[in-house]
Amino acid sequence: MSGGGEDDLSAFVALHGAALRASGVPALYWESLCRKLRGEVFDAGDYFGIMQVEEVDEEEEGDEEMEEELKKKPNPGNEPCFKVIVTNENGLQASNPNSVFLIDHAWTYRVEHARQQLLHVPGLLHRMTSLMSIDFHGEIPDEGSIEQVLQEMWKYNQTYQLSQGTAEEKVPVWYIMDEFGSRIQHSDQPSFATAPLFYMPQQIAYTVLWPLRDLETGDEVTRDYAYGETDRLIRKCVLLPWVPSEVLDVNCFTPEPSDEYYQAILAENKEKLPVAINPPVYDKDKVFKVFTDIQQVLRNLTHPRFVFTDNEKEADILYNFSHFKDYRKLSEERPEVMLNQFPCENLLTVKACLASISRRAGGPDGPRWLPRTFNLQTELPQFISYFQQRDRRGEDNHWICKPWNLARSLDTHITNSLNNIIRHRESSPKVVCKYIENPVLFHREDVGMVKFDIRYVVLLRSIKPLKLYIYDVFWLRFSNRAFSLDDLDDYEKHFTVMNYAAGVTLKQVHCEEFIPLFEKQYPEYPWATVQANICKAFAELFQVASAKPAPLGICDYQSSRAIYAVDLMLKWDTSRDGKRIMQPQVLEVNFNPDCDRACKYHPTFFNDVFSTLFLDETDNCHVTSIV
């Protein structure tokens, strides 16, 4: 390029260079790629063609080698089988800077919107059924065809994620390449590589295709569907959607990870552990200066022994919204300063870590108060083995996929499709938990029997000795539709977080109203007994979370205090002596929870919290000690 062209390339590289490097697109192709993107040049048709492959009838006498070759190349989807070949009479040279191609995307969506888009976007269902070789002859979308597309799409889906924006905007995006891109088959020795590229000037994503070696006319275009995976067992697991196989021989036990796992998490979080300090001692009538950036605290903390300061350096208490990192410096320079978080508390608040430390209470299967959980990054073979074993035994196989560290049910999906779960591993780090198929339900007069969950605020005063309280007021959240194990993408049936969704009813029932209603519906289960079991689960959880020294457990830092919101459900279970019981199920532990409802209905909430945590005074503070 000369003149303006060089400037164009520089601007292109400034915007996209990091993404291209991360995806492994050789710099040799960048100039041509820039030109093709600017001019929207889709010239793959000049070099490639789609070929339909006839399935060989096994009973016919034929070329055995050809049969074997066809068996090795699973089509992503149903019959008929397609493949992409080089049709250009000169073949294709990897050293040619123009040997880079754009693939358009036929459908881009977020999973929770897929059904509605198939129903309402004109022509979309028709195009998808055609691309996936699903029979669909009507003009009006029908449920059967939509269900088939929703099942089959996991063999075609690709994903990317925006690195900037709100939590909602960072939820992974899924896309299906056009007919050309979707016909490119898998090979363990691929001839091409692909990568998504979000083209900033147009705000559109394309897939970039480039050769890994020289190809002659008639050579097949293939890519590695398990690109980047080198471990043979993991590759086998990742390729299961296209190459079905059983991994029943893998032991599905998931023991607690090694110490190195926790060391790596500490390093990744860039958290510096504190030095040991003596417990700070304060005058009994001291007025504490509080530095905080949390509006709910600024508006609602009115206790006379706390005053606010804008100067962080003169504060006695740091009550931060974001995660504190350098405990070492604070412990060395200002050990008497208290703060609202503990070093290594992510062992509770990150779902993968919560599952790991909980195994200290219940062994490899985890404790009874936590749904069976697998880390999809590190325990994929064990999960697949467990899923397939349950399938063989005819047991319920509904699961819920959750990101490690997003709240509010973002990017959370319920499914009984193994392919779906395996592919979700590609989008962002996730755990998969057994979905509670037999929850304790609550009768809503306007709706019927619905799911509900309960949020308790837990106050952690210290680790050694372990001092743990619950706030006496708890909060309830309800689904808006009667529960049944179907319509798994119906948010208002399967989820309870309604206070962030636009145009959705939020059912409010205060705990003092809820208890008599609950006891009327379940007279054999007094709430006091249910809550005692909940507190027992919380106590066990915090005991195992603090049982080992940091970074294997929450750090015993004498100036730390914290509140967490623990979300839980109740499920029907059988006790060891055969009785039907309500078993608490911890869903997640939240750092710095939204306390808007707490402050609205209980104006003394932050006075109670600060008095319990920082003054060690619990009288008339609406808290109950559980450890």
pLDDT digits (tens, 9 = 90+) for 119-173: 999 999 999 999 999 998 778 889 999 999 999 999 999 999 887 788 888 889 9
Tally the C-alpha atoms within 13 A of residue 391's C-alpha that lie toward its C-beta.
Answer: 13
What's the pLDDT tens digit per position in 493-532? Answer: 999 988 766 778 888 899 999 999 999 999 999 999 999 9
What's the one-letter identity of residue 96? N
Q: What is the mean pLDDT of residues 370-378?
A: 96
Q: Give the DSSP H or E segment for 201.
A: none
Residue written as token pair 């926790």: 262
Closest CA to 467 of 551, 542, 544, 358: 542
- Name the CA dihedral angle for 11, 13, 18, 19, rounded to a multiple of 10 degrees: 100
Measured distance CA(211)–CA(35) in Å, rounded? 18
Better pLDDT: 406 or 330: 330
d(CA 565, CA 470): 10
Give the whole-angstrom CA distance, residue 576 versus residue 555: 35
- Look at 171 and 391; give whichever has higher pLDDT: 391
Which residue intervals of 64-195 are DSSP H helices?
64-72, 114-120, 124-131, 143-152, 179-182
Q: Are 412 and 403 in contact (CB under 8 A)?
A: yes
User: What distance in Å separates the CA atoms of residue 181 and residue 104, rounded to the nearest whole number?
Assistant: 8
What's the pLDDT at 362?
83
pLDDT mean over 570-580 = 94
239-279 residue pLDDT tens: 999 999 999 999 999 999 999 999 999 999 999 999 999 98
As a whole number of angstroms, the distance between CA 9 and CA 30 comes to 8
Distance separating alpha carbons of residues 263 and 150, to the nearest angstrom: 40
Is the CB of residue 568 less than 8 Å from the CB of residue 342? no
pLDDT band at 437 (very low <50, low <70, confident <90, very high): very high
| Model confidence, pTM | 0.91
pLDDT of residue 69: 46
Secondary-structure breakdown of the chain: helix, strand, coil percentages, each rounded to the nearest 5? 35, 20, 45
Please say whether the beta carbons of 403 and 430 come within 8 A: yes
Strands 185-186 and 430-434: unpaired
Q: What is the mean pLDDT of residues 297-326?
A: 97
Q: Are 186 and 441 in contact (CB under 8 A)?
A: no
Q: pLDDT band at 337, cuts 50/70/90?
A: very high
Q: How many helices (H) and strands (E) does the chain have?
A: 20, 26
pLDDT per residue as tens digits for the range 592-604: 999 999 999 999 9
Residue 56 banded pLDDT, cuts 50, 70, 90: low
Backbone angles phi, psi at 513, to 5 degrees: -80, -35
Dist. CA 159–CA 134, nearest whole Å: 23
Mean pLDDT over 418-438 rounds to: 96
- Percentage of the chain lying above the pLDDT 70 cut: 94
Average pLDDT score over residue span 540-556: 98
Predicted local distance difference test score (pLDDT) of residue 55: 63
Q: Which residue has the tokens 């075609």?
A: 156
Provide the pLDDT confidence category of residue 72 given band limits of 50, 70 and 90: very low
Positive or negative torsion for Cα 120, 124, 128, 130: positive
pLDDT level of residue 363 (50, 70, 90 thresholds)? confident
Q: What angle do CA 349, 154, 36 make, to 5 degrees?
A: 100
Q: How confident is the model at residue 365 (pLDDT cuts 50, 70, 90)?
A: confident
Instruction: Give the pair of three-digit tokens for residue 461.
Output: 């005063």
pLDDT in tens, 182-215: 999 999 999 999 999 999 999 999 999 999 999 9
The answer to whether the beta carbons of residues 338 and 320 sit under 8 Å apart is: no
> Using one digit for the tens of pLDDT, what is the confidence trace for 73-91?
455 544 568 999 999 999 9
The per-residue pLDDT for 176 is: 98
pLDDT of residue 190: 98
pLDDT on residue 509: 93
Q: What is the pLDDT of residue 124?
A: 96
Average pLDDT of the segment spanning 474-487: 96
Structure token pair of residue 78: 């149903």
Contact between residue 410 and residue 168 where contact means Cβ atoms under 8 Å apart: yes
Tokens coding 153: 């799409």
Tell the residue number behind the tokens 């793959």, with chain if given.
Answer: 44
Give CA–CA dist 434/355, Å, rounded: 12
Residue 1 pLDDT greater than 80, yes or no: no
CB atoms within 10 A of CB 58: 8
Give residue 366's region: left, alpha or beta (phi > 0; psi -120 to 50). left
Write out the E strands in 128-167: 158-160
